[in-house]
């Protein structure tokens, strides 16, 4: 009785392993970008829960469980971005990275014409899916596994070199496709959801490409050795694992 064969766990407990390249010499900027993009096969868009979502096969309860839980992740984002800024010695990078915090926390409280911000948009999506604002905000539905995953991401960004935390943000390379699928699928399959509620997905269609280009450029500039490139790939693999764990936890908890 020896391990490996018998010991295979559920295929959903972790994402498909990403194609970590063999790095016997540093990749050029183009090949590095291509290598990072090739990790899309481990993106949580490929998890069955998202496939069911986009095929219109989730129940209102499952959508509600998803939206209420994912708020914990939305709320972690500005904190992880602040952690990156706190570790970064380059004022130009810090200044540019600030926009991400603004995008999530919004500007409306001080500017009536400002943006409500990604977190508030997410709460509104929750309301449109039938979860009262109070139940979103007090996080009563947030599962331990989801909370731990979101906090693991903040801790990663606090404790790793800033450029590795930047590399971990590159799942944004894969986000626009996922947003486009949702924007198409929701009105078609879940017509009871008000279209205005999809504002968050629309906002990410603009922000994610801009942000991922910024992140990719920084990784290309700063990761020019075998060791630093290996760490960039590993950081992205960590983030993909975190997102996958989050959706798998939701999938298990709200299975019908």
Residues forming the site for its own copies (CB under 8 A): 1-4, 6-7, 9-10, 13-14, 60-61, 64-65, 68, 130-132, 135, 140-141, 143-145, 148-149, 151-152, 155, 241-242, 244-245, 248-249, 252-255
CA–CA distance, 224 with 19 (Å, rounded to integer): 19
Separation between Cα atoms, residue 87 and residue 94, nearest integer Å: 9
Smallest distance from its own copies to CB 140, Å: 8
Tokens representing 129 are 């899916």
Distance of closest approach, residue 112 Cβ to its own copies, in angstroms: 30
Indicate the residue among 173 and 245 with the shorter CB distance to its own copies. 245
- Cα–Cα distances in angstroms (integers) from residue 76 to residues 119, 154, 186, in the given order: 10, 7, 25
Closer Cβ to its own copies, 66 or 97, answer by number: 66
Nearer to its own copies, 68 or 179 (CB): 68
Q: Are 17 and 214 in contact (CB under 8 A)?
A: no
Residue among 22 and 255 whose Cβ is closer to its own copies:
255
- Tell me whether residue 44 or residue 174 sits nearer to its own copies (CB atom): 44
Closest distance to its own copies from the beta carbon of 39 (Å): 15
- Do the Cβ atoms of 171 and 43 come closer than 8 Å? yes
Q: Is 31 helix (H, G, I), strand (E, B) or coil?
A: helix
Secondary structure (3-state) at 114 = coil
Rounded to a whole number of angstroms, the minimum distance from the CB of residue 216 to its own copies is 25
3-class DSSP state of 44:
helix
- With CA atoms as reference, report the closest residue to 72 among 11, 159, 18, 137: 137
158 near 21, Cβ under 8 Å? Answer: no
Closest CB 158 distance from its own copies, rounded Å:
9
């Amino acid at each position: 009785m020896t391990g490996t064969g018998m010991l295979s766990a559920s295929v959903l407990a972790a994402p498909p392993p990403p194609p970590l390249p063999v790095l016997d010499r540093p990749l050029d900027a183009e090949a590095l970008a291509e290598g990072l993009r090739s990790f899309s096969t481990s993106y949580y868009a490929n998890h069955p829960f998202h496939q069911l979502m986009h095929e219109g096969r989730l129940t209102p309860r499952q959508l509600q469980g998803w939206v209420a839980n994912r708020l914990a992740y939305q709320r972690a984002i500005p904190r992880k971005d602040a952690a990156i800024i706190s570790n970064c010695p380059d004022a130009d990078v810090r200044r540019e990275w600030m926009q991400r915090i603004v995008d999530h926390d919004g500007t409306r409280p001080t500017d009536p014409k400002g943006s409500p911000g990604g977190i508030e948009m997410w709460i509104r999506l929750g309301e449109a899916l039938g979860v009262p604002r109070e139940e979103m905000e007090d996080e009563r539905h947030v599962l331990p596994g989801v909370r731990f995953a979101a906090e693991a991401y903040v801790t990663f960004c606090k404790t790793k070199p800033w450029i590795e935390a930047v590399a971990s943000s590159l799942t944004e390379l894969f986000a626009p496709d996922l947003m486009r699928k949702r924007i198409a699928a929701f009105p078609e399959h879940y017509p009871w959801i008000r279209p205005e509620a999809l504002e968050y997905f629309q906002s990410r269609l603009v922000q994610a490409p801009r942000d991922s280009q910024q992140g990719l450029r920084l990784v290309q500039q700063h990761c020019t050795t075998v060791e630093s490139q290996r760490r960039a790939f590993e950081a992205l693999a960590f983030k993909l694992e975190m997102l996958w764990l989050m959706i798998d936890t939701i999938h298990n908890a709200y299975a019908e």
